Each structure stands twice: as C-alpha cells, then as structure tokens.
Amino acid sequence: MTGEQVMKELEKDSAFYEQSGGGVTFTGGEPFMQFDFLLTLLSECRKSGIHTAIETCGYTPWENLYEASKYTRLFLYDLKLMDDEKHKHYTGVSNALILDNLKKIAENHDNICVRIPLIPGINDDEDNIRKTCEFLRETNIRLVDILPYHNTGMYKYRKLGLDYRLKDTGAPEKNSLDKVVDVFRKSNFTVSVGGGSK
C-alpha cells in the first residue's frame, strides 16, 4: 500500500480517535525497518491531528529516531537486557546503540514508556533488574511497563514451520513479578504490568 492508501484507512476511524483519545501505534516487527514509509505516515498523521505512538526496540540510527520523534507523541521503547554479551546472545545484536538511543531520545522527548519483556531465566534476575533501574534513573523517563512473558506465539511458529526456542519457558511467577515491580516502584517509577495498572 502507498502512504496515501494507508492514510485513507486510518482517517476512517478519526471519530473513534477523537472519542477515545486514541490514535495510531506503529509496531511490528520493527517500524524503523521501513523508515521512509514510517516517517511519511507519521507526518501525515500529524497533519490530520491523529495521535501517534511508536513501539520500537531502538535499534536504528539515531538520526532516524530523532527525525521520527518530531511527529511522535509517545514512544513505547523495549529494553531487554543490560549485559551486552547476553543481549548479543539472545537477540543477535549489541545493546550499545539501543541504550545510547534511549539516553538521547529521553533528552529530546518527554513521553516515553520503557517496556521490559520479563522472561524467566533470561532477564528476570536481580542483577539485570537492578542495572536496568539504575540506567533509567539517569534519564527523565518515569513510566515502566513490565510485560510478563507468555508463549501464545508458539502456535504461530509451529504453523510457519519455525523453531520456537523458548517452548520450555513459562510465565513469570507472581512472586517474581511482584519483586520486579517493587524494585521500580521504590525508585519512584510509575509501573504497569502488561499495559494495565499494578
């Protein structure tokens, strides 16, 4: 679809956006993988008065993130692991660019929610949570959303013939989840769990 075609579809729901206070969230995959198209739609949404949000892992050149920030009302910024070697192991890339971009965007944008997918045995340990909290305390970000891991995507992987590497991983236990929420609350973050309140 062209940007114009997408905008025609989006504008059909303008009355709903106005009534609900909602808008358009660009997610994926990773929206910055199609940066030019993303920027076109963000700009057009701004012209049409439609609220915009981007859900991103932040792995994109700073210039792209900064340019998009001019048209974005809310960033939902995923933060997975603070240890660079572990980040490389689980995601295939370094977290250096992601962390650097988060620091920079926090200096240039005042509506950022950091989303932490909490995965047992991977990033739910005390050291990672403490370091994540310390890192975020050095920014102006105060919204944190903890996303408890679930394996509902396993069926989709199976249908596509793909290997689901976390098939033996379960959801975080309530006690573990509560401890993570508590760490961030004690540092004066506003915390939600799975997009809701906790």
pLDDT (tens digit per residue) in 172-187: 999 999 999 999 999 9
Per-residue pLDDT, 164: 85
Q: How confident is the prediction for the chain on average, in pLDDT? A: 93
Q: Which residue has the tokens 């792209």?
A: 64
pLDDT (tens digit per residue) in 23-35: 999 998 899 999 9
pLDDT band at 196 (very low <50, low <70, confident <90, very high): low
3-class SS letters over 161-195: CCCCCCCCCCCCCHHHHHHHHHHHHHCCCEEEECC
Does CATH number 3.40.630.30 belong to domain 23-192? no
Per-residue pLDDT, 15: 85
Mean pLDDT of 136-159: 92
Distance, in Å, from the CA atom of 196 to the CA atom of 198, rounded to the nearest integer, reads: 7
State pTM to two decimals. Answer: 0.91
Mean pLDDT of 46-72: 97
Per-residue pLDDT, 154: 84
Q: Where are the domains positioned within the chain?
A: 23-192
Per-residue pLDDT, 197: 54
- Higher-confidence position of 124 and 29: 124
Within 13 Å and on the Cβ side, how many CA atoms surround 112? 25
Per-residue pLDDT, 121: 94
